[in-house]
Every structure is written in C-alpha cells, then in structure tokens.
Structure 1
Amino acid sequence: MNIRSDYEQVNRLYYRQLHSETIDLESEDFQQATLLSHNFNNEAEKWQAYLKILGLLALKKWLSDRHLRLDNKIESLPPNQIISSEPMSNLQVGGFKACLLTNESIVDEGIEIPQKMINSPDFAAHFYIVIQVLVEEEEAILIGFRRYDQLINQYLEKNKIGNYQLSLSELNYDSSHLILNLKYLSPAAIKIPENTLAESKSWEKLTSWLEGILREGWQPVEEILGNRKPIIQMAFNLDKTTEKLSPKVVKKFIKQFQMTQKQRGKIQTDLSKTELSDTEVNKALVKILQTTEDEETRWQVAELLWEIDPSHPAAGVRRAIDIGMQLAGVPVALMIAILPKPNQRFAVLSRVYPLQDQRFLPANLKLIGLDEMGQSLFEIRARERDDYIQFKFSADPGDRFSLQIVLNSAIVTKNFII
C-alpha cells in the first residue's frame, strides 16, 4: 500500500511539473514591486506586498501572452489586500472574478482559503489561481487553478483557524483549460454568490461613516446619551466642578505613555509646561494614535480625543442608535466606533448603554457578535450594576459582521460591513 501511495505521489508530481507554466520575471517587475512595497510600514508588510505584487505581475504577463487581460491596475489595488496574508480577491479578467493565491497561502503541499473567499458575495471568485513566486530564480510558476463550482461540490476540511484546506493535488494543472474557460465560457455558467438588492440595503457600511455618510437613526453620541458621564472617567480623574478632562489630566497620560513605551523622541510636546494648549494636546494624542501598536492604548487615546475634540478626524467616527423601541421598550442604545489603524485595517468598538434615567443595564442583557455566516464570534452578558458592556476587535475592508442585543425573548440585530 505504501509503495502504491508513493508511486501515485510521484506520478502527480510529474504531472504537475509537466503542466505547470513558468513565467519569467523581468528587472522592471522587481523594480515595480520594490517601489510599491515601500509604501508600507514594517519589513513583514513590505515582504508580503513584494511577493504579492510579483505574483500579480506574473499573472498579468501570463494572461497578456494569451491575449487575455487583467483589468485591475496593480498600483490602484487596496493596500490592505496587498499586505494581508489572505489571497487577493476581486481581480477582474474580462467578466470573470479571479482570486490569486500566492506564497503565503501555500503551506505543506496545500493551500489555505479563508471561508469568506468562497462563501461571501464580496470575495467569491469564478477561478482560484495558484502562483508560486521564486525570487532568487527570477520566475513565477502557475501551479494550477480551481473553479468555484468545483470547490463547493467537494468536501473541504477546515484548519484550526477556520480556513479551508485544499490539497495541491486537487488543482487542475492544465493551464490550457483555464485559457479555454476564460476565452469561451460565459461568467454566468459558473454561479457564484451575489448580493441581492435587499441584502445590500441591510448592511451598514462603517467606512462610509468616515466620509460622513450614515443611515437614518445613527446620531452623534452626545445627542443619544445626553448628560451621561463619559466612560473615560473610569480611567482618568475628571475636574470635580466641570466633570471634564483638563489638560493636566491629558498631560499625565502622555507622560505615562512616554515612560512606558519609551517613545520620548516621537512626541515633541514640552511636558515641562504647567498647562498644555488645546493644539498641543491634540497633536500629542494624534502622534500616539499613529505610532502605538498597543490596541488598548489606541482606544484610550480615542476616548480622550472624543472628550476633548469629538470631531477630530484622527479619532475615527462613533455613532449611537436608540434601540429601546425594538427591545420591548427597554431604554438602551447601541454605540459603534470605527478607528483607522496604521496597517490599513480598522479597529471597531461596540458598546451598549442604558438610557434615560436608567443608571445600569438590565442584568443578563447580552451583546452577541456574529460573522457573515451567522456563527458566534463573541458574547458579552451584563451583570448586576453594569453601566455598559462592550467588545473591541479589528477587521479588514469588506468584512461583514452582525451585532445582536438580546434581552429575554427580545432580539435586535444590526448588520455591518467594513
């Protein structure tokens, strides 16, 4: 049995090598990949971008040699797709959608495909194309491809982080089949998930908030919460007479951050002053927001900015909605905040408050997060005397999630897309 297995493995390897196509990478390709990858922050992101751009250039060249065209302009692709370890989706070849899997997706003689790349209308593709980039050899290899309809009709195993595992042996190695499909097949022949008009209306796009586009019902937090004391009071002492943050309080926070993070050289504010001007306070906080990698510190700074300058663009956007009428008349509000991160991702804060004269949330009220497939991501339950509950997480553009506020048999669901 082992002999037969080894023979079959060698046979598959020979077949793969026979049909795999080599794409030569020119010096111009390496120059373009170097130039575009320099737009990113750290070495890991630069290397990830470098490989992906080379893979894209190889695919573009391979298609061009066969009188096909990659419609996407590489320099205009979303930065988060280039630095992410996930496959590159939403590539257009004629009327087809393609998903490119490069080096980081190829592990242990197989490839990893995140669920959303197959199940989500925003990421699903007609063709999943695997390209290996060999930098030292100055070439790329088109290993094979798989059609969407073939993927969904086979059993796909999931790994520990929920990604689908696809063996390289399950790919179609004959690139001539891919050419024939792209040239002579109609995109309608391969059914992929699509957003219906009703579905598209039910998702609140959070990145649109950063452009000032919001749906009816979402209001500035101050208008919904009224005179409730800010959450930031739990971490900082407020002025006893005004219940506002004073420059001295912010100065203390900035100084503590400098001492613990050893970033004295990155913040130019003179801390020897007895008072800080509003401009100096904002400048110092924004600098921390742009340089720190600690998620909790970023949210602390955002909270400070919300109290000092609620409309400051660096603090992202936060809005709240009264959901009491939908929750059996219980006066509560859902607040959502979105905060851009340096790595092209977004930090999201979800928080539930009591409203009106209610000081605390009802015990056992739940905040539940669901992914786009309806699977649970988190569940936060209010305890006795909780004046709010919350959950923070990070997401990529295009990610979808839902929030449910549950109290006994009453459920309110809000759907979001980054």
Structure 2
Amino acid sequence: MSPSIAPPRLTIPISAKAHDVARKFASEQIDAHKGKRVYLNTLAVWAVHRYLKWLYIESDLKRSNSWNAVLRALFDVADLVLPDLGRLECRPVLPGEKTIALPLQSSPDRIGYVPVQFGKQLNEVELLGFASVAEVTEQQEVLTLGTLRSLDTLLEHLSELEAAAKAPQSLQLPQSVSPVHLSDWLKRNFEAGWQAVEELFGERSPSFAFRRAAIQRVKRIELEKPKEKTTATTEIQEPPTALALVVTISPETENQFGIHLQVYSSGEPAELPPHLQLKVLTAAGEVFREVTAGATDTFLQYEFTAQLAEEFQVELAWQDIYVTESFVV
C-alpha cells in the first residue's frame, strides 16, 4: 500500500494593512469571542483574495458577505466573491485542528472551501487545499482536512466554471432593466429611485414593524390610466394614480432573507384603486403569489423568504396596465 501524499500547501504573508482591516471589523463586535472569530475570518478571506490576485483571478471583497458589516455581526461569514463564478468559503484553521465546521446554510452560488491554516504568529498563513461543493453532502457538518485536494484542483475548477459561464445559453431572455440588488441594501448601496419611506410620505409615513437589521426602501410608481374617448372623440384622461412600493429585506441566516412587500397610495385618496393586483413572479415569469385590493383597501402586502442570489419580479397590475420591477437577493 503506497503512503498517502498530502496536497502541497502555499504560504501567504499577511500584511499590516490586512491586520488593520481585521482589527476594525473585530472592534465592531459585541464581545471578544465574536471579535476573534471575525478577525480570523477577515485574514483568511484576505489571504485567499491575495493568492487569487497573484494568479490574475478576479475576486471582489466588497461584494462578499464577510465585508458586509450587518452579516458579519449576525453570522459566521468567511466568503469571497468571484464575479460571475460564485463564492469561496475561506475557513480559518487553528493549530491542532483536523476538521473545519461547515456553514449550516446552503448557498446556490457556493464554489467550495479553502481552509486557511493559522499558526502562533499571524504574519503568515497556509492555504491547505480545496474541496468543491460536489464533494460535500448537504447533511455534512464538518470537513476533514485530510480529504482536501490540491490548490491546482481549485484552479481547474474555476477554469471549468469560467468556460461554462461563457458558453452560449440555449434560452436567454432579454432583460432591458437591471434588477435591484437587495443584498446590496444591507451595505447601504441603493439604486436610483429608491428612497427612505420618510422622504416620500413625510408626516404621513405608515407605521412599520422592523425585524432585526431590516433595511427598507420605497419607490414611487405612476399608473397611467387608460385613455377613454367621448362621443365627440375628445380624449379624456384622469390624473395618474401614484403608488408607493415598499420593499423590506431582513437577514434570517447568512444566505436566507425575509422579503416584505407593501403597496400604498402615495397621494390622495388613501384608498388603492379597486382591483389593483400585487403579483410576485418567479425568475421565469410564473405567478408565485397574487394579492388583490378591495374597494376600501388602503394597502396590499405579502411576505416571503428568498435565498441569496435568488431572482424574482414584482408586478403591479390594474386594468390593462402592468408595471414590473425585477429583483435579485
């Protein structure tokens, strides 16, 4: 029987700048234990980011959950975003540890795991290898370090993902408007047209019950009423109905979010147009849920749970008018 050969490791020096960022993130936490975890997570992610930079492989720290102050405080996040490819889990390994705990929540864009070995000195770390998501079962809670494959396997895997991303799709629907990235709201990055509720409603702002770390924005939407012709063929058009679409996102786990939709009249009268419909559509355009306003309703609402990177649409329908907003979590 031939002896097993451990995958080669790679040493990454840790700069003073990386420690400064890690200290800043750690100081934001509620206790020393959480602060230490965030500190190590930050250095692990930074080390993998630097390794990929050496190889001219693009990664985006700012889009990673580990660089998001809200998700950092709520969950044990140590991910690194590779644009158009997915997320790498960069998990710290302390001296003497033989396994790493795997995140309990699944992520649709997770690529795999890169354990990062720390020693007594924090001036350098070792990248121990790679395990793809295909090598880990959904029920698996820990990853044994002895089962890791080499970092060359990671590079091969990334090449395959890049080739698949560039391959022509059999069916690709055109999208004229970029979707609203709701998870970016947790970083206080808001698209044009979405404003604070108080800015739109002023003193008339509805009362909302917020969940922990919930972020809420509102967009004003005009429903142009259909034109009608009199017997003298003179066109008559009533004033447009101004609506307010309120969207709230609140993190429930690292990769699962609560989405709360509400529709109000942003002007007078306070009642919504009768038979106004609020529809939630899947990414394929199929109706997931539909709510209809009665004659005296002043608002519509619907609440559901969505996964990270999940896409959906919100459609407001009245008579023969349809206004659609696209979202990605």
How high is the TM-score relative to the length of structure 1?
0.45
Distance change (3 Å), C-alpha of 1:360 and 1:318: closer
Instruction: State whether structure 2 residue 300 is matched by structure 1 residue 389.
Output: yes
In the alignment, is the contact (CA less than 8 A) between 1:111 and 1:167 conserved in 2? no
The one-letter code sitting in structure 2 at the alignment partner of 1:387 is T
- 1:101 and 2:89 aligned: yes
**Partner in structure 1 of residue 254 of structure 2:** none
Residue of structure 1 in register with 2:131 after alignment: 144
Corresponding position of 2:46 = 57
Determine if contact 2:7/2:128 at 8 Å carries over to the other structure: yes
Separation in 2 of the partners of 1:398 and 1:20? 32
**Superposed counterparts of 1:83-94, under 5 Å:** 83=72, 88=79, 90-91=81-82
Q: 1:130 — aligned with what?
A: 113
More strand by share: 2
* 1:321 equivalent in structure 2: 221
Give 1:214 deviation, angstroms.
Answer: 3.5
Q: What is the Cα deviation at residue 103 of structure 1?
A: 4.0
| Unaligned residue ranges in structure 2 (runs of 5+) | 93-98, 229-236, 252-256
Is the contact between residue 10 and residue 127 of structure 2 (CA under 8 Å) also seen in structure 1? yes
Task: Map 1:157-306 onto structure 2 (within 5 A).
Answer: 173-179=149-155, 189-191=163-165, 198-199=174-175, 201-204=177-180, 213-214=192-193, 221=200, 230=204, 232=206, 295=210
Q: TM-score, normalised by structure 2?
A: 0.54
Partner of 2:245: 336
Provide the C-alpha distance between the structure 1 equivalents of 2:283 and 2:181, rounded to a whole number of angstroms: 14
Deviation at 1:320, TM superposition (A): 1.2
Larger Rg: 1
Equivalent in 332, 335, 350 of residue 262 of structure 2: 350
Identity %: 14
What CA distance in whole angstroms lies between the structure 1 residues aligned with 2:23 and 2:247? 30
CA contact (8 A) 2:261 2:301 kept: yes
One-letter identity of the residue aligned with 2:325: K
* Residue-by-residue CA offset, 1:59-106 (whole Å, 9 max, x unaligned): 246557xx62455575896732872656735336xxx846212349x9
Q: Is the 8 A contact 1:87 1:113 kept in 2?
A: no
Gaps of 5+ in 1: 1-10, 119-127, 160-164, 224-228, 236-293, 300-314
Distance 1:31 1:190 in 2: 36
Q: 1:212 to 1:72 in 2, by over 3 A?
A: closer
Q: Is the 8 A contact 1:361 1:388 kept in 2?
A: no
Deviation at 1:197, TM superposition (A): 10
Shift of 1:351: 1.6
Alpha-carbon contact 1:401-1:417 (below 8 Å) kept: yes
Paired AA for residue 319 in structure 1: K
Secondary structure, counterpart of 2:274 in structure 1: coil
Please name the residue that 1:303 is paired with: none
| Contact 1:316-1:338 at 8 Å conserved across structures | yes
Cα RMSD (Å): 6.1
* Distance apart, 1:108 and its partner CA: 7.6
1:370-385 → structure 2 map (5 Å cutoff): 370=281, 372=283, 380-383=291-294, 385=296
3-state secondary structure, aligned to 1:385: coil
Instruction: Name the structure with the higher helix share.
Output: 1
Residue 80 of structure 1 corresponds to 68
Higher-RCO chain (CA-CA 8 Å, sequence separation at least 6)? 2
| Alpha-carbon distance between aligned partners in 1 of 2:27 and 2:247, rounded to the nearest angstrom | 23
User: Quick one: structure 1 residues 389 and 69, their matched pair in 2 at CA, closer, same or farther if it must change by over 3 Å?
Assistant: same
Count of matched residue pairs:
288
What amino acid does structure 1 have at the position aligned with 2:274?
P
Q: Judging changes above 3 Å, is the alpha-carbon distance between structure 1 residues 192 and 110 closer, same or farther for their aligned structure 2 residues?
A: farther
Change (3 A) 1:135 1:295: farther
Q: 1:98 to 1:319 in 2, by over 3 A?
A: closer
* 1:213 maps to amino acid: A
Distance in 2 of aligned mates of 1:214 and 1:322:
13
Equivalent position to 1:68, from 28, 52, 55: 55
Pairing 1:31–2:14 present:
no
SS class of match (1:335)? strand
